[in-house]
Amino acid sequence: MIGLTEIQTAAREIGGMVHRTPVLTSERLDKLAGGDVFLKAEHLQKTGSFKIRGATFKVLNASREGAEHAVAASSGNHGQAVARAAALQGMRSTVVVPEDASPAKVSAIEAYGGRIVRCGHTSAERIPEARRIAREEGGVYIPPYDDPMIMAGQGTVGLEILEQVPGCTAIYVPVGGGGLISGILSAVKQTRPDVKVFGVEPESADDTRRSLASGERTAIGPTLTIADGLRTTIPGELTFPILMEALDGLITVPDSAIREAMVLMFQGMKQVVEPSGATALAGLLASGGTGDTGKRVAVLSGGNIAPADYAGLIS
């Protein structure tokens, strides 16, 4: 696990550069879920997702060491976070995105000053290209999830949840490469080991489910799940052991359930959440609470989506 001290350090250092996001509630949602449900609103975070936490901590430390160019591989949210974090430190940034990256996310990266490079459709294609650019242009590569500082930054979400929801019994977290959930696991299990942490991933992007079943990192082919931020093809080398050690369970959900969670957020709470951001709530609702009628928290990890794409998904 990532050390609790490292996560607490991240919380102190990034505190003035990111939001302490609110926790939302809904009586309608409580009735649907059969108990108290709380939503950690990372879709209201700066740059629109939790990614800004880890990126800020990593880029801040790279800047202290003299780095002047940050390079990332991202489907969008991590790229926005790195571009903003780099701009705050007076650094240049380059983001390698998939060929079919969301125009809204690409525009946001460029708005923060990031240079766009397109490559392939999967993280397995983007990451080597980003590493090459960093190596050849004298930059520092900022991983999307497989890095201790990135995980420590994301772990600050877990610390906030424990403070904001006293008596929390379970936390549901979307799973892509594993940076967010490994950070939350590290923060929560070293503070409140009785709190259960469940991962949620799309059925068609179930590399973590397969890996947990086999006991080793298992790759899958490209996927077209609507949750574009969760389209990883293999769990992280550093994140996966933490999931193996501490995860209380993994839930997979179809894209239809993710859409339903998005509609529920819009109609019931007037909140715009992207597919990846609604995945944890879809898992909480699909699980039937896993027998838990206590205080359950779903992490709404992001809200970056083009208006036309959003309308098409929830209509």
Q: Are 41 and 111 in contact (CB under 8 A)?
A: no
- Measuring CA to CA, which residue among 28, 56, 26 is closest to residue 41? 26
Catalytic pick from 75, 102, 182, 287?
Answer: 75
Strands (DSSP E) contained in 150-211 are 168-174, 196-202
Task: Quote the tokens at residue 23.
Answer: 């926790």
Task: Quote the tokens at residue 15.
Answer: 């505190």
What are φ and ψ of residue 141, in 5° steps?
Answer: -80, 130
Q: Is 15 helix (H, G, I), strand (E, B) or coil?
A: coil
Give yes or no: 204 in active site.
Answer: no
Give yes or no: 182 in active site.
Answer: no
H/E stretch holding 300 = strand 295-300
Q: Is 35 helix (H, G, I), strand (E, B) or coil?
A: coil
Sheet containing 140-141: give its strands across. 115-118, 92-97, 69-73, 140-141
d(CA 204, CA 122): 14
d(CA 198, CA 175): 9
Task: Quote the tokens at residue 56.
Answer: 């800020």
Q: Are 114 and 93 in contact (CB under 8 A)?
A: yes
Catalytic pick from 40, 51, 58, 189?
Answer: 51
99: number of Cβ within 10 Å:
10
Catalytic residues: 51, 75
